[in-house]
Structure 1
């Protein structure tokens, strides 16, 4: 028999209290933090739970932001309508060890935090009424079942990637074992046509942990197990919208009638959809940043004409080889395109700083700015930015889509290969590099794709100029259509699909008695 919920033990109605737990990586934390802010603005009490290493980085980020905004208290967001408390759980990893890019180690820490999470639920005041957690953090479902409170499974990657995970978990996609190494290229190129709502995929498009199964494997188990119990959650929520991935989500609804699937994205600040620059000192507009953000880049962007700058960021986990960095640098230099380039201190494979080709910075200083980390929402909303060279992580995809920016994808892992396939072949709002091993990336290819995405021709080539401009115009047109669809999805004025999804989410959390019949309930994603 399930234990009584902490809320039920009080025997009285209370303010809804959501315990939120992400998988502890920046790209997973940010969408849940944005959602938490929205729910807090609706009157929710939020306890935001992280493993201790990520908790430290989160609070450091908040401290930096509060210093910039003249705020106080690092462990509490004291802004209008915010009631968010940040809590750390031990992950069992020595404090001196870094976890930044070690996905298996981070994931093991999540599993080790299970007992501490249940203990936390027993001690929180006010008692929790619901759990919202990353799909991968499956132990939170055990806690929800134990205390008889609803749990929302929040998927932070593309719905297409969710569908691939579900297909592998349920045996719809069969995996090679043992023989992968002997016939690797043949197996990796074999088309998979059995995932509903998705175009045919090569196995190499799939997340790396799902490409083969050869005996017991922690990461394979960690990635697949949550999808075998998806129907235990009150609902599964996607940070996506129907125009972007409706066919995929409908395929999931058909395949898994026992699950509720809702799209509520893009889960981003309302002002991000306004078509103007973001306010620098509005807490709702700030994203978590593991690295200090360089706001000087916004002043640098002010110097440039509308749509003239290519923004480059490979996210918080991608690692480049030294050869890849060199080819990117020399190809981008040859393109002649103005660049704002984010180069993390640990961008190189093995966690080292990037070493640019000799003389690169001097030769390009008039048109290139290189920074360690950018306030990305503010950069993408800046009118000078004309396109986005990205690792194709899902947050970056949604942020670029929401600003109508053509995208050039260079995938690294996880859902990024699938996302790049959609950019080039399904959505038509950009192009992608194939990342298939050493020698595949050349400076000539980088130059060609940078020119194409920006509509910039080689000097003196009139035919090339006309072709480039036409191709770039088509990409911009499609990108603008997706931007408009994203804005419509989150607009209360048009009863957008993601507003409806949010009502269903609140209903699953037992906040609304009937979300469908309550058009006047608060609209946290409405455009101001």
Structure 2
């Protein structure tokens, strides 16, 4: 009997590619034949980063990588909205052509696509292929999208997604964070036309997801009991991390990781290090970056600060004030990009200053690390509410919440509050770590749902 051939299609952004590539690697180890579709640009970035070669993925796990063009010139990649435009106007045709090229010569058993790519579900249906939608974010985000008609009906938002101002926040479930219409993904886009287009895209994707035979999510019942009660059709199969499956490092990074930070961590006392990373999109302005540097200096604790990939012509010193490097000495370590799962699992790490992207959250949670939350856009505000209000494993920054600059004093004070142990944040984080690890082992909810998913893939 032939092993099933699964076509995997991620949304072409770092935070979407990594969890789907992690899932694909696990499926490939179970002897599914995986064809992973990246844009040419993203595939080149991953190959240059060595994250695939370092893990021997193609050779050892049988994953096949194919690419499609997104039609963007290099200058276009720096312009807001250009990627999302290409996702809507260019990629559907390119992916459809690829499916026609592959199938039926090498019959595709099913398609697993990011739930943000509603058109992928439509193409799968058109071609008579079974399809699963994969949610790389919190299940609450998908539940929110599914409840959009209700929000319009109740006057929370208008039919173009604009908050009416009648509701500061509302609850979908007592077990979920309060929803604030002003922080929805689309509501924080200033350009009215673009905001309307994004909202319409979300509505379309929500309808297209209903075409999927199955919806799986990189989350856990232990994290989002309320969300999964409201949408029982969503299967929790997370957290999907390399450390859960096989002890390997994550794959799919767009940037080369600086492994010297691991040697530096080995020289630090247990639980002493402040880890700072803001994901693949967020960039602090120079004033805020220097205030962060001074806040880290004030803590008098060792810190590891990821300032993302090196911009053209920039130096590390541009991220901190004059004399900072000399004053902190070896107490501070700054890198352009880090092996985050390995960093967060290191016993030296004591807290995580994070933008609250979902991947970063689950990577921190499975290692029992408390958070200092610094969200910027999209789902990050909802995720902060989970951390601070539902799980109670972290603190927020008042400056960030109000849209004003975060002061060095607040940064240092909140780090001290998290790490001195009086608030119980570390204890709750350790307890949640245990429950998440249990969930992905035999007898756990996520483990059982993953087995259901595998049975479905086998047809």
- Structure 1-normalised TM-score? 0.79
Q: Return the offset for 1:141.
A: 0.9
Are the equivalent residues in 2 in contact too, given 1:213–1:220 (CA < 8 A)? Answer: no
Say whether 1:118 aligns with 2:96.
yes
Partner of 2:157: helix, strand, or coil?
A: coil
**Distance across 2 between alignment mates of 1:15 and 1:98:** 40
Q: Return the offset for 1:56.
A: 1.7
Are the equivalent residues in 2 in contact too, given 1:272–1:377 (CA < 8 A)? Answer: no
Q: How does 1:244-393 map to 2 (within 5 A)?
A: 244-253=223-232, 260-269=233-242, 271-272=243-244, 284-345=248-309, 354-393=318-357
Structure with larger Rg: 1
Pairing partner for 2:67 from 88, 98, 118: 88
Q: Return the offset for 1:193.
A: 2.9
| Cα 1:179/1:393, change in 2 over 3 Å | closer
Pairing partner for 1:77 from 41, 54, 58: 58
Say whether 1:57 aligns with 2:57.
no
Partner of 1:19: helix, strand, or coil?
A: strand
Partner of 2:240: helix, strand, or coil?
A: coil
Q: Structure 1: which 5+ residue stretches go unaligned?
A: 1-12, 254-259, 279-283, 456-468, 513-528
Partner of 2:35: 47
Q: Return the offset for 1:441.
A: 1.1
Aligned length: 451
Are the equivalent residues in 1 in contact too, given 2:51–2:253 (CA < 8 A)? Answer: no
Are the equivalent residues in 2 in contact too, given 1:51–1:109 (CA < 8 A)? Answer: no
Partner of 2:75: 97
Partner of 1:29: helix, strand, or coil?
A: helix
Q: Return the offset for 1:406.
A: 0.7
Over the aligned positions, Cα root-mean-square deviation in angstroms equals: 2.9
Q: How does 1:113-262 map to 2 (within 5 A)?
A: 113-124=91-102, 125-168=105-148, 171=151, 174-176=156-158, 187=165, 190-194=168-172, 197-209=175-187, 217-253=196-232, 260-262=233-235
Q: Structure 2: which 5+ residue stretches go unaligned?
A: none
Pairing partner for 1:26 from 14, 19, 27: 14
**Distance across 2 between alignment mates of 1:322 and 1:213:** 24
**Distance across 2 between alignment mates of 1:489 and 1:179:** 36
Q: Return the offset for 1:470.
A: 1.5
**Distance across 1 between alignment mates of 2:161 and 2:94:** 41
Are the equivalent residues in 1 in contact too, given 2:186–2:198 (CA < 8 A)? Answer: no
Q: How does 1:510-525 map to 2 (within 5 A)?
A: 511=458
Pairing partner for 2:85 from 96, 108, 124: 108
Are the equivalent residues in 2 in contact too, given 1:177–1:212 (CA < 8 A)? Answer: no
- Structure 2-normalised TM-score? 0.90
Partner of 2:66: helix, strand, or coil?
A: strand
Q: Return the offset for 1:198.
A: 2.5
